[in-house]
Structure 1
Amino acid sequence: MSTDTDQPPRTSLPGLAGVIRHDLPASLVVFLVSLPLSIGIAVAVGAPVAAGLIAVVVGGIVAGLLGGSTLQVSGPTASLTVVVAESINQFGWPATCFITVLAGGLQILFGLSRIARGVLAIAPVVVHAMLAGIGIVIALQQVHVMMGGDTLTSSWDAIVGLPRQLASVHPGDLCIGLIVIAILIGWRRVPEPAGRVPAPLIAVVVATLLARVLPVRVEHITLNGSLLAELHLPQLPHGGWAQVALMAVTIALIASVETLLSAVAVDRMRQNSARRTDLDRELLGQGAANMVSGAIGGLPVAAVIVRSITNVKAGARSKASTMLHGVWILLFSVALVDVVRSIPKAALAGLLIVVGIQLIKLAHIRSARRTGDLVVYAATVLVVVFWNLLLGMVVGLVLAFALLLWRVVRVTVSAERLDERRWRVLVDGSFTFLALPKLTAELHKVPAGSDVLVEMTVDFMDHAAYDALRDWAELHRSEGGTVEFVEVGAVRMADAAHGPAARGHSRHLLDEALGPWRRHPGDVDRIVAGVAAYHRSHAHVMRPHLGVLRDGQEPDSLFVTCADSRIVPNVITNSGPGDLFTVRNVGNLIPRDAQDSSMEAALIYALDKLHVRSVVVCGHSGCGAMGALHSELVTGSQLDDWLAHARPSLDRFRLGHPVAAAAAAAGFGTVDQLGMVNVAVQLETLSAHPVVRRGVEERGVVLSGLFFDIASARVIEVTVDGIAEIDGVGRVAQPA
């Protein structure tokens, strides 16, 4: 599957039939969503109304044509409202257009330097908090407009001025604004097909009609002449170039981050599509659009997640949709200027209040609280609301980095008494010289002559920490005590003694669990080496669990698999002691008609005595039994008699079993295809077995088949009809 680094998406548009069938209807839906929002954002920042419409046209046509995304929709965005309003207030509108051109140039540099993936490294909690802060600022500003007042640049002034604004509220504007908010909130409950009409369009149309009949004054937006008459050339600002550069960088960063996050979201919605967004090319397209928009008097442009998702859900298939939506905005702005002039300001204020509030996601707040990032979230929001957006982003990133650093270097050290003579010392985390004060304080609690168990779950250890712990252990032993080290983490004390400090690797844990011989190539008796490693690393963890199981077992599954040494059932099923009642034989066979007393005993004991809830048959790739069966090898030994039980699997394979066809389509070889068919045939044998059938009927016992592909370490589900992948979150994905 191609990625953004393999090749850029194709820019050629689909055939005319595809455009008419899919992209034309989608473009009309996006046009109806973008129109009121773009006008509202222009009014909110204090720019000419035409600036918002120009930005939509340029975003749709230029960014749509040149960008790296197929379905993203670009235009003026609420996330830039605060910054653009501040720029207009500080430098004026013509100079802000020049700043927009500069920001577009920076985005082109971002795209050429291929740093798009790096921008996504910004901590999500900071991005979420920035958007929430922007939403609060928008809502505070637009509340005054909805009540007939003016937009205030300071959030503090907006809060302090609310009582005064309430005392001088304009009833008509307030009524219009509240009606718009009510429609936007309640429209989601309207059944289809009416519910498919965009709520912002319905709200603005209703508000415009009401403004004509209400017996009170309602303020409307101002648009002098047509869209073409509103085109303005940018002007150079008068001094303050450092602040101009800072403003351009801020706009470029925010527009780029929102664009990239939107691209990732759209790609996730289209998981089955091979055409992923070329993120660097997308920044080039956005930069070009911002340069054009600023050059002709438009607002800054970014890809907008809401409109992009709307485009996808509306059925768009290509760039034609986003480009056509820009064309519809252009035609509307040139031909229907009087319609724009009739829209009440309070209607757009109500629309933006809802948009602002929607930027505050309760799910993001819960996530920040759950992950311990609530301080970062709250601090970023407060700085964005009461100072400015760039400072809020800097504060959020600094706090996020400080919190990350604290978590990385944090270590837990504790000493506890187990009984009169025994003590346990726990060391968990990154074990560095920073932990020495805490380590010495805890070790001081341990009395001389006691027996000490030191449990270490450490992912990093420097030499200072190693020396301190080793010296204490030697001193404690010299005073008549004992010290036993249990190293569970990825770092070993031996590593710290013989090499530079380095962060541990999880392979240590796999070596401890599965292959002690990997670390002891000179050991004559690998079993003894493995037992020693088990006692050192895992026995103390297993002891409490096995203590519960010492009087009996209650396994969940009967697991029938091959005797092949490469299959470790508990590892590939992520299960532990007491979970699997395992039966192994050559070829994972279940002889029919009770021809094997050992298998019969296992089935009866597992189902009637242990009451397992599932029976699993697991085959594997490169199976010697299946290879011998397929080649019809004759050894003249009892192996021939045993493999005769698998003869039905070979016959079904040669007749064209559906599992074999599915395995062949997935690229498996002939012997592995036979191995999968064998699993399916054993499942059929199980379903006909009286003991198993009774368990299925009376207790709902589940039969399932697995196939372990050794080369890729994948576990594949096998049914009587086919095969399927099992992905990392446990759900069954598409058929392999």
Structure 2
Amino acid sequence: MVGVTQSRVLSTLRYDVPASLVVFLIAVPLSLGISMASGAPLAAGLIAAVVGGIVAGALGGSAVQVSGPAAGLSLVVADLVQTYGWRATCMITLLAGAVQLVLGVFRAARAALAVSPAVVHGMLAGVGVVIALSQLHVVLGGSSQRSALANIMELPAQLAEMHGHTVAVGLLTIAVLALWTRLPKRVKVVPAPLAALLVAAVTAYVFQWDVTRIDLSGTLGDWQFPVVPQGDWEHVVAAVLLVALLAGVESLLCSVAVDGMHTGPRADLDQELTGQGVANMVSGALGGLPLAGVIVRSTANVQAGARSRWSTILHGTWVLVFALGFGWTIKLIPVEALAALLVFIGVQMVNLGHVRKVHGHGEVPVYVATMAAVILLGLAEGVLAGLALAALLALRRLTWVTVKIHEMPDGRWHATICGSLTFLGVPRLTHELRAIPEGAAVDLDLNIDFMDNAAFEAIHSWRLGHERLGGTVDIDEVHDEWYALAASGARTYPAKSLPKAPDRSWLPWAHRNHRPARHASPPTHGVSPPPHGRPASVECQLTAGAREFHRRTAPLVRPIFTELARKQQPSHLFITCADSRVVPSLITASGPGDLFTVRNIGNLVPRRGAEPHDDSMAAAIEYATQVLSVHTITVCGHSGCGAMAGLLSGGVKAGSLPGLRRWLRHGHHSLARFIESAEEPLDARALDQLCRVNVQQQLENLRTYRKVDEQVRDGRLQLVGLYFDIGAARVHMVPPLPPTLAVKI
């Protein structure tokens, strides 16, 4: 126990203390800037940073997330301060914390993750633009207006009347922030925000520039308990819920993002929401800003090497020590430098990386709409607009129907309907189906996961009308049988069905439920089918199979083959028999690009230099090991192998096949090994025993190739033997030959 405690203390001193100092240096200037953007007392940002570090750090569910005042909440706070006053805003923060606490206790944290990230990123981008526009006026020597539009309209006049010293301080601050990332690593130990404010403060002091100074002295001691907001109760409740939900969602999304940055324990989201609630209650009671998990400080904490929550707690402690003991130094910072810092932060909040991410999922309209609404209307209105648009797009995707219709070379028409069939898709569905000529033979594939009554009636009515005019409609349901159930009058499923993989692609042709009307010759009444289910025309069956591949499988695997088209990188050379019952991809559950496959009669590997000479196997081995750099060579035999039966018969069964008889000479070593180890007399299991011995011998034959032997000895290549029991549909591992026997042959 003592050893564990000592180890934790050493880990804290080694990793968490340095990380806490880095976060502290970032937190102080950002907290002051967010206070300024929120229209709150500057001390409120430091109070929120202290509470976020100590309280949220101790009670939260994430080990390395850092909480504090968040720029994303500054617009809400600024509006609340102007509407209700500062002390009432603190009460709203306290009540919002209570709401978060209740939600955390009732384990509702996961529900917050249902908010589209496009809405969150769009909200933050809009807030960033508003902050940058408002603080730009301060940099120019003026004052910010009430709205973003007003700030834009006043900007030309402000540019005409800008003050030289204030602009110089602002430009100097932004220049330091922009260039700091390009400096050497040892210099960047000092965080960019702190460095920018220090450079601006020192420069303004040395050159005696006429700038506005910050004075924080005495503000931490002017504490008064929050008061109840005066006004319509529904507006107050809406404000409380808005602060609680925005801060909670931002904290939980930050927790999820931070989990991907470290290898420590995963965050408990319900505990995190509870901790955030308690911290906001304390912050509101003490006169601090609303707080949330902040990605900038959390990322810096992880990158600085934090291992536990002690880093977050200590950073809050350092902020408290600074505010109580060194708060007087803040008066040296020019207000214009702090405003320039906010302009820089606001511009960075419009993250193009987020735009690229949401673009890949078709959610750029949600991002843009949210950002525009936040800028033009306000934060709450912007978030609601983004959520509404995201919901509409989601509904559109859920009910989107894809209809593809084309004429086949044989004159039949093929139609494919994919998606969820609801009344919303009926107009487009009926329009597309009516384009099929009257009297045509139609193959209709329904690849759907839901069908309501309106969609069924539309398809069924069209089918009846088409058949009434002399056409035929052959319906195939790839998914669950929604149409068949509705047509039979049975009760359909109450909800969408889960996707189901096609269950026919791996079956033999004779076992598939093909309809004779589709892609096949006309039915031959009175004619017996070919024996053993063998199709009358192999070419016709292969063509039908290719069409089925194009129709069902190709759309699913096309992205994979598009990627594989550039280069193949198989990890295995798979040598097996040409027997039609052995399907390598099926018995190994492998996919395209996994196996470099060689097949021959008896899965034989001719020994190097053996007669009759055969370069096909040698070429495959050389290419696989020296070009493709495979990791494994597998030889797979199977039960009831005809080649091994030919060996056992002494060539009698291959008497009329001279090519086969010559090829089987490569199996003489397998036969000799089997005879040497077999017990007399040979029983009915002799053939399968020879099949297994043959696998072992072919593995040994592979070692006669110099490159193979070298790679096996170096541990870069592994030789594996498999045996497929066809009757039992089981794959067995075949152990390699004992070294003594391997040397003897």
The bucket for the TM-score relative to the shorter chain is 0.7 to 0.9
Question: Does the 8 Å contact 1:581/1:606 carry over to 2?
Answer: no
1:689 corresponds, among 705, 727, 733, to: 705
Task: State the partner residue of 1:354.
Answer: 344
Does 2:300 correspond to 1:310?
A: yes
Task: State the partner residue of 2:26.
Answer: 33
Task: State the partner residue of 1:663.
Answer: none
Question: Does the 8 Å contact 1:413/1:425 carry over to 2?
Answer: yes
The 2-side partners of 1:695 and 1:541 are apart by 42
Q: What is the 5 A alignment of 1:509-548?
A: 509-510=502-503, 513=506, 539-542=546-549
Secondary structure of 2:61's match? coil
Task: State the partner residue of 1:51.
Answer: 44
The 1-side partners of 2:543 and 2:191 are apart by 65
Question: Does the 8 Å contact 1:487/1:537 carry over to 2?
Answer: no
The one-letter amino acid of 1:559's match is F
2:53 corresponds, among 60, 64, 73, to: 60
- C-alpha change, 1:285 and 1:590, in structure 2 (3 Å) is farther
The 2-side partners of 1:179 and 1:529 are apart by 84
- C-alpha change, 1:439 and 1:200, in structure 2 (3 Å) is closer
Q: 1:525 Cα deviation (Å)?
A: 13
Q: 1:16 Cα deviation (Å)?
A: 2.2
Q: 1:538 Cα deviation (Å)?
A: 5.9
1:428 corresponds, among 413, 418, 422, to: 418
Name the % identity. 40
Does 2:132 correspond to 1:132?
A: no
Map Cα deviations across residues 531-576 of structure 1 (whole Å, 9 max, x no partner): 99x9999642436999xxxxxxx99865336999796349833329
Question: Does the 8 Å contact 2:258/2:298 carry over to 1?
Answer: yes
Secondary structure of 2:416's match? strand
Map Cα deviations across residues 690-723 of structure 1 (whole Å, 9 max, x no partner): 6979999xxxxx9788999x9xxxx9xxxx9xxx
The one-letter amino acid of 1:149's match is G
Question: Does the 8 Å contact 2:574/2:595 carry over to 1?
Answer: no
Does 2:255 correspond to 1:263?
A: yes
Task: State the partner residue of 2:648.
Answer: none
The one-letter amino acid of 1:583's match is R
Does 2:298 correspond to 1:334?
A: no
The 2-side partners of 1:261 and 1:543 are apart by 41
The one-letter amino acid of 1:292's match is V
Secondary structure of 2:260's match? helix
Question: Does the 8 Å contact 1:65/1:319 carry over to 2?
Answer: yes
Question: Does the 8 Å contact 2:34/2:342 carry over to 1?
Answer: yes
Does 2:251 correspond to 1:235?
A: no
Instruction: Give the TM-score, by structure 1 length.
Output: 0.76
- C-alpha change, 1:517 and 1:492, in structure 2 (3 Å) is farther
Q: Which stretch of structure 1 is more off in the superposition, 214-223 or 24-33? A: 214-223
Map Cα deviations across residues 276-325 of structure 1 (whole Å, 9 max, x no partner): 11111111111111111111111111111110111111111111111111
Q: Which stretch of structure 1 is more off in the superposition, 536-545 or 106-115? A: 536-545
Map Cα deviations across residues 41-64 of structure 1 (whole Å, 9 max, x no partner): 112212111111111111111111
Q: 1:511 Cα deviation (Å)?
A: 5.4
Q: What is the 5 A alignment of 1:506-655?
A: 506-510=499-503, 513=506, 539-542=546-549, 559-560=574-575, 568-569=585-586, 572-575=589-592, 581-583=597-599, 602=617, 604=619, 613=628, 617=632, 637-644=686-693
The 2-side partners of 1:137 and 1:707 are apart by 67
Q: 1:406 Cα deviation (Å)?
A: 1.1
Does 2:212 correspond to 1:219?
A: yes
Secondary structure of 2:402's match? strand
- C-alpha change, 1:536 and 1:527, in structure 2 (3 Å) is farther
Task: State the partner residue of 1:251.
Answer: 243
Q: 1:499 Cα deviation (Å)?
A: 4.2
Question: Does the 8 Å contact 2:696/2:721 carry over to 1?
Answer: no
Task: State the partner residue of 1:98.
Answer: 91
- C-alpha change, 1:592 and 1:505, in structure 2 (3 Å) is farther
The 2-side partners of 1:344 and 1:565 are apart by 79
Q: 1:139 Cα deviation (Å)?
A: 0.5
Task: State the partner residue of 2:174.
Answer: 181
Map Cα deviations across residues 215-265 of structure 1 (whole Å, 9 max, x no partner): 4310011323263x1433212222332222211111111111111111111
2:390 corresponds, among 380, 384, 400, to: 400
1:73 corresponds, among 66, 70, 76, to: 66
Q: What is the 5 A alignment of 1:656-675?
A: none
Task: State the partner residue of 1:88.
Answer: 81
Map Cα deviations across residues 579-601 of structure 1 (whole Å, 9 max, x no partner): 86453999x99686588999985
Task: State the partner residue of 1:116.
Answer: 109
Question: Does the 8 Å contact 1:380/1:396 carry over to 2?
Answer: yes
The 2-side partners of 1:234 and 1:505 are apart by 53
- C-alpha change, 1:149 and 1:416, in structure 2 (3 Å) is same
- C-alpha change, 1:69 and 1:518, in structure 2 (3 Å) is farther
- C-alpha change, 1:598 and 1:320, in structure 2 (3 Å) is farther
Question: Does the 8 Å contact 1:224/1:230 carry over to 2?
Answer: no
Secondary structure of 2:502's match? helix
Task: State the partner residue of 1:323.
Answer: 313
- C-alpha change, 1:278 and 1:445, in structure 2 (3 Å) is closer
Does 2:430 correspond to 1:413?
A: no
Question: Does the 8 Å contact 2:401/2:418 carry over to 1?
Answer: yes
Q: What is the 5 A alignment of 1:273-288?
A: 273=264, 275-288=265-278
Map Cα deviations across residues 163-220 of structure 1 (whole Å, 9 max, x no partner): 2222222221211111111111111111121122211111011011011123431001
- C-alpha change, 1:707 and 1:221, in structure 2 (3 Å) is farther
Task: State the partner residue of 1:725.
Answer: none
Gaps of 5+ in 2: 514-528, 555-566, 641-673, 725-730, 737-745
Q: 1:87 Cα deviation (Å)?
A: 0.7
Task: State the partner residue of 2:647.
Answer: none
The one-letter amino acid of 1:185's match is A
The one-letter amino acid of 1:109's match is V
Q: 1:606 Cα deviation (Å)?
A: 8.1
Q: What is the 5 A alignment of 1:363-512?
A: 363-418=353-408, 421-488=411-478, 493-497=483-487, 498-501=490-493, 502-510=495-503
Question: Does the 8 Å contact 1:23/1:317 carry over to 2?
Answer: yes
1:196 corresponds, among 154, 173, 189, to: 189
Map Cα deviations across residues 618-652 of structure 1 (whole Å, 9 max, x no partner): 7799x999xxx9xx99777244444346669xxxx
The 2-side partners of 1:161 and 1:572 are apart by 67
The 2-side partners of 1:209 and 1:608 are apart by 68
Instruction: Give the TM-score, by structure 2 length.
Output: 0.75
Q: 1:413 Cα deviation (Å)?
A: 3.0
Q: Which stretch of structure 1 is more off in the superposition, 375-384 or 89-98? A: 375-384
Provide the alpha-carbon RMSD of the alignment: 4.5
The 1-side partners of 2:498 and 2:425 are apart by 21
Q: 1:14 Cα deviation (Å)?
A: 6.3
Q: What is the 5 A alignment of 1:690-729?
A: none
The 2-side partners of 1:494 and 1:375 are apart by 39
Map Cα deviations across residues 487-536 of structure 1 (whole Å, 9 max, x no partner): 4556564354454045343335245545999998xxx999969999x999
Question: Does the 8 Å contact 2:215/2:328 carry over to 1?
Answer: no
The 1-side partners of 2:214 and 2:449 are apart by 62
Q: 1:689 Cα deviation (Å)?
A: 2.4
Secondary structure of 1:82's match? helix
Question: Does the 8 Å contact 2:575/2:635 carry over to 1?
Answer: no
The 2-side partners of 1:706 and 1:396 are apart by 57
The one-letter amino acid of 2:52's match is G
